[in-house]
Amino acid sequence: MSFLVDSVIMFTSQVLFFGFGWLFFMRQLFKDYEVRQYVVQVVFSVTFAFSCTMFELIIFEILGVLSSTSRYFHWKLNLYVILLVLIFVVPFYIGYFVVSNIRLLQRQRLLFSCVVWFTFMYFFWKLGDPFPILSPKHGILSIEQLISRVGVIGVTLMALLSGFGAVNCPYTYMSYFLRNVTDSDILALERRLLQTMDMIVSKKKRIAMTRRQMYQRGEEQNKQTGFWGMIKSVTSSPSGSENLFVIQQEVDALEELSRQLFLETVDLQATKVKFWSQHISFILVGIIIVTSIRGLLITLTKFFYAISSSKSSNVIVLVLAQIMGMYFVSSVLLMRMSMPLEYRTIVTEVLGELQFNFYHRWFDVIFLVSALSSILFLYLAHKQAPEKHMTL
């Protein structure tokens, strides 16, 4: 009876996760995509649901929710389903939709899809050869063989994203914390901008009046004829034109200053919004996990927007689902080391005899390489920006 109740609880939570993934897919991530295949939405939502279920099971391990037998069963079931989706279902459909977009292969799309899947399986299996991730006694179809290779890909992805984010996030947002913008700063800058605009208007009025006087003076000189009129027009000094040139230079300088003041005012306004939004995000620590998941998917979506088209949208969704699933499976591998010994027993039994220390060392190495590469990239980009500005 207890096992049945536990199964109902797990099934209900998975349905909720599936529904959330479906809504997140339709209304947030891919609202601008034209995804015509129903199976793509189902695969994405299933991957999202079972990925979230793994985190739920970790919480259940710590809190002691459900019986140990039920937790072990659902850990096994969840891992087998997520591995089935990541290794068999998603790669096959990626190959299927890629082949479907090639006219010459459309008649034999099923055959070529199988060829693509077998190619993926070959490289996926060969991936485990260079890494000390398994004990020699594991069978070829054991869960350790599958999850170890998924873990290598996922940990590499996590380390790359974490290394870049660790450098890019402070580089992008540090100025918002170092620069404390108040309402008085914005008002003072707006006051300077208004004063500059008033000066521009007054000087342009002077330019208009001077031009009008010069025009009237020229008409009077044209009315004077004869020898004495010619002598007077030659010997008279055009003092009005000299003043006009000086005033025009002052107006040009003031207009440039007004443009700079306007841009700085807009920048101060934007900084004061972003500064408080950061403080609010720090207060709401309860949604960090949800924000991290959404941030990962949004980042990947922005990257794929650059290469997306009406024909490639299905493939893009499936690739996102593949990356998301491997990312979360690898998170479980890394989080296992952070759990107390009394809570990691079932997790260790389910994952099998993997070389967990290897994944942490591998994460540290890739993280370091990614962070150093990001520092070099941002340094070169920052160095080249002023040079481009000077050449323009």
> pLDDT per residue over 377-387, tens digit each?
877 877 765 55
List, in order, residues 6 or more apart from 343 with CB less than 8 Å away.
61, 62
Lowest mean pLDDT across 19-33, 34-48, 248-262, 299-313? 299-313
Cβ atoms of 44 and 21 within 8 Å: the answer is yes
Average pLDDT over residues 121-134: 79
pLDDT at residue 237 greater than cutoff 60: no
**Percentage above 90 pLDDT, the chain:** 9
pLDDT score recorded for residue 181: 61
Predicted pLDDT of residue 294:
58
Residues 6+ apart with CB under 8 A from 354: 133, 134, 144, 147, 148, 151, 333
256 pLDDT more than 70: yes
- pLDDT top residue among 104 and 172: 104
Q: Mark 304-338 as b/e (b = at least 16 C-beta within 10 Å).
A: beeebeeebbbbbbbebbbbbbbbbbbbbbbebee
**Does 338 or 210 have the greater pLDDT score?**
210
Q: Which of 34, 86, 30 is nearest to 302 (CA)?
A: 30
pTM reported for the whole predicted model: 0.63
**Are the C-beta atoms of residues 297 and 309 closer than 8 Å to each other?**
no
Q: Which residue has the higher pLDDT, 59 or 136?
A: 59
The residue type of 221 is: Q
CA atoms in the 13 A half-sphere facing the CB of 374: 20
Measure the CA–CA gap between 365 and 49, rounded to whole angstroms. Answer: 31
Q: What does R_g of the chain's alpha carbons equal in angstroms?
A: 34
Instruction: Tell me the mean pLDDT in the region 21-48.
Output: 77
**Which stretch, 26-35, 221-230, 360-369, has highest mean pLDDT?**
360-369
155-193 pLDDT tens trace: 888 888 777 777 766 666 665 555 566 677 778 878 888
> Are 347 and 332 within 8 A, CB to CB?
yes
Least confident of 121-125, 281-285, 322-326: 281-285
Q: Among the listed ranges 41-50, 155-164, 217-226, which one has the minimum average pLDDT value?
A: 217-226
Contact 51, 328 (CB under 8 A): yes
pLDDT of residue 107: 81
What pLDDT is stored for residue 207 in this prediction? 81
| 228 vs 186, more confident | 186
